[in-house]
Structure 1
Amino acid sequence: MPEPVGVAGIAYLNARPLLAGLEAGIDAPFSYRFESAEPGTCAQRLASGAVGAALVPVASLPSLPGVQVHSGLGVACRGAVTSVLLISKVPPERVATLAIHRASRSAVTLARLLLTEKFGVRPHLVTVDPPLANMLANADATVIIGDPAMRVAGQTGLCELDLAAAWNDWTGLPFVFAVWALSPVAPTTTSDLLVASHAHARAHWEELLTRWAQAHGRTIAEVRTYLEQILHFELNDADRAGMAEFLRRAATADVLPTAVSES
């Protein structure tokens, strides 16, 4: 009997609508196992062959040769997102050191791109583990994403730059943080499973909002606003154009990670 196909998803509130069916164990024409992890770890698991599909940071795609991108689903926004922040002790144009950790490659890459191309600085990167205070004790600025970012947004007393809003102001395009990527050896019906997982979320939306609010320490109203008004999960041509432009600009600026093992 073949081993179950591994499917890895990002362990943040912003990805829950894409993972709902997988977490519920919906039926599929093949056996699968779901696991949740940090964004960078999802990319590593796919690169190593440990899983057949993963929700990965867009910035990791150039270092995942041979994967098939499910271009219809992802985590995206068309402006301010509140959960992907550059937090800095100095104005962006004065950032000399940037603390990074095993966070989303897309967020770190976007921060580096904006600092280089929009603010005219190319900070030295230092790898520092959270919490936020520790990271800022070792650098001028850091990138914080997901649930931790939502907990501190607007409360740090420091310079906070919403990276998705800055991207939209700069380019006029949406920003796609993560997409499903499939191994060449994944079953041909894996894409159908991913679509069904999102459909499961839509079919059980109100119940899931309550569950997610409890799990992530937010109010139902906050979760509803975040998942219904700030983020979207079905990608269109504008989203795909934004994703392509991000990868193009990041490559030109030489800020893309070179391997999935990079932080």
Structure 2
Amino acid sequence: MGELDGSLRLGKIGFLNVLPVYYALEKGLIEHPFEIYEGSPSELNRMIAKGDLGISAISSLEYGCNYRKYLLIPGLSISSVGKVKSVVLFSDHPVEKLDQEGILLTNKSYTSVHLLKLLFSKFWEVNPCYIRDESSSGFHFYKNYPAVLAIGDDALKLARGGKFRYQYDLGEAWHRWTGKPFVFAVWVINKRIMASLNGHMQVAYDALMAAKKFGMEHLTDIALEASSENILPYTECLEYFKQLRYDLTDEYLEGLELFFSYLVETRLLPEKPLIHFFPGS
């Protein structure tokens, strides 16, 4: 695979959805140069922006906000074509009845919050009140609100819990609105870190691609092991992994660029980001 002096810090989102990419790396089944650090999407966004991580999975919005700092890793994302299952608006009321109602926003993700705001303003045409409660990071706090945006493992648990009468999958809503896939997360390299790798970034890229390939070929084994975390039973976990998309094709990039265009139009982004890849595909 080649040589890479020292270890390269790789950010891992602390949710079930990235397991097919990281499983082979963490089990030592693929030779790699990484020191893996796990955190929430918002935490990883901050760390890679500061240069505390070399490569990481990050919110697609973080790339949009700071694209000059990053290069995208080709062929790797967390996306959906329709339902994503783990980015969900839970509500006691139908979405059309949420005008001026309070909605608790997750503090773990930027992309999902901005997607929700777009859907309300342009698709559902409803004007709710958004609540950010930094103390509400725990699963048990959700019962205090009539509607909440939950992501990742929290969303999977809430969906099975039956507390809320209505569930709106944001990947499905985006697809119904635009007909496009939605890219929730991408993998990027910090340009400043890349400059210090002396041309050895290809080693890291090859390891990520090999790990992804292993994961796609062993989803049943990974789902079986993941079911022991008591987030989803085996059959639902396998269905979840199969429903997610881990590629970053031209079709997915069209969805990503459309998302960015809407954010610029609604002044949630100051400019349209440019798409720049690490030249290792």
TM class by smaller structure:
0.7 to 0.9
Describe the shift of the 1:88–1:251 C-alpha distance in structure 2 as closer, same or farther (beyond 3 A): farther
Aligned partner of 1:193: which letter? Answer: A
Contact 2:106 2:150 in 1 (8 A): no
Q: 1:8 aligns with which of 11, 17, 21?
A: 11
Q: 2:115 aligns with which of 110, 114, 117?
A: 110
Shift, 1:179, TM fit: 0.8
Aligned partner of 1:58: which letter? Answer: S
Describe the shift of the 1:135–1:253 C-alpha distance in structure 2 as closer, same or farther (beyond 3 A): farther
Shift, 1:18, TM fit: 1.6
Counterpart in the other structure of 1:142: 148
Q: 2:214 aligns with which of 195, 200, 204?
A: 200
Describe the shift of the 1:83–1:191 C-alpha distance in structure 2 as closer, same or farther (beyond 3 A): same
Counterpart in the other structure of 1:261: none
Contact 1:38 1:102 in 2 (8 A): no
Describe the shift of the 1:95–1:130 C-alpha distance in structure 2 as closer, same or farther (beyond 3 A): farther
For residue 232 of structure 1, give the secondary structure of its aligned residue in structure 2: coil
Contact 2:90 2:164 in 1 (8 A): no
* 1:231 matches 2:244: yes
User: Which segment drifts farther, 17-26 or 161-170?
Assistant: 17-26
Mapped partners of 1:146, 1:194: distance in 2: 22
Mapped partners of 2:270, 2:223: distance in 1: 34
Counterpart in the other structure of 1:33: 35
Shift, 1:33, TM fit: 0.2
* 1:214 matches 2:220: no
Q: 1:45 aligns with which of 41, 44, 47?
A: 47
Shift, 1:90, TM fit: 3.3
Q: 1:247 aligns with which of 256, 260, 268?
A: 260
For residue 255 of structure 1, give the secondary structure of its aligned residue in structure 2: coil
Unaligned 5+ runs, structure 2: 272-281
For residue 234 of structure 1, give the secondary structure of its aligned residue in structure 2: coil
Counterpart in the other structure of 2:81: 78
Counterpart in the other structure of 2:103: 98
Contact 2:182 2:256 in 1 (8 A): yes
Mapped partners of 2:5, 2:21: distance in 1: 26
Shift, 1:125, TM fit: 2.9
Mapped partners of 2:177, 2:43: distance in 1: 29
Mapped partners of 1:87, 1:95: distance in 2: 15
Counterpart in the other structure of 1:172: 179
Q: What is the CA deviation profile of residues 171-199 of structure 1, one whole-angstrom value per residue up to 9, with x for unaligned ones?
A: 00111111101111234223222212212
Shift, 1:135, TM fit: 4.2
Mapped partners of 1:132, 1:204: distance in 2: 30
Mapped partners of 2:250, 2:233: distance in 1: 32
Shift, 1:19, TM fit: 1.5
Counterpart in the other structure of 2:130: 125
Mapped partners of 1:159, 1:46: distance in 2: 36
Mapped partners of 1:200, 1:6: distance in 2: 21
Mapped partners of 2:137, 2:52: distance in 1: 27
Q: What is the CA deviation profile of residues 24-53 of structure 1, one whole-angstrom value per residue up to 9, with x for unaligned ones?
A: 24323xx42001111111111111111101
Describe the shift of the 1:109–1:211 C-alpha distance in structure 2 as closer, same or farther (beyond 3 A): same
Q: What is the CA deviation profile of residues 201-230 of structure 1, one whole-angstrom value per residue up to 9, with x for unaligned ones?
A: 2354433221111124322211111111x1
Q: What is the CA deviation profile of residues 119-169 of structure 1, one whole-angstrom value per residue up to 9, with x for unaligned ones?
A: 22344432221445634635x532101111112216123322111111000
Mapped partners of 1:174, 1:75: distance in 2: 11
For residue 69 of structure 2, give the secondary structure of its aligned residue in structure 1: coil
Contact 2:10 2:56 in 1 (8 A): yes
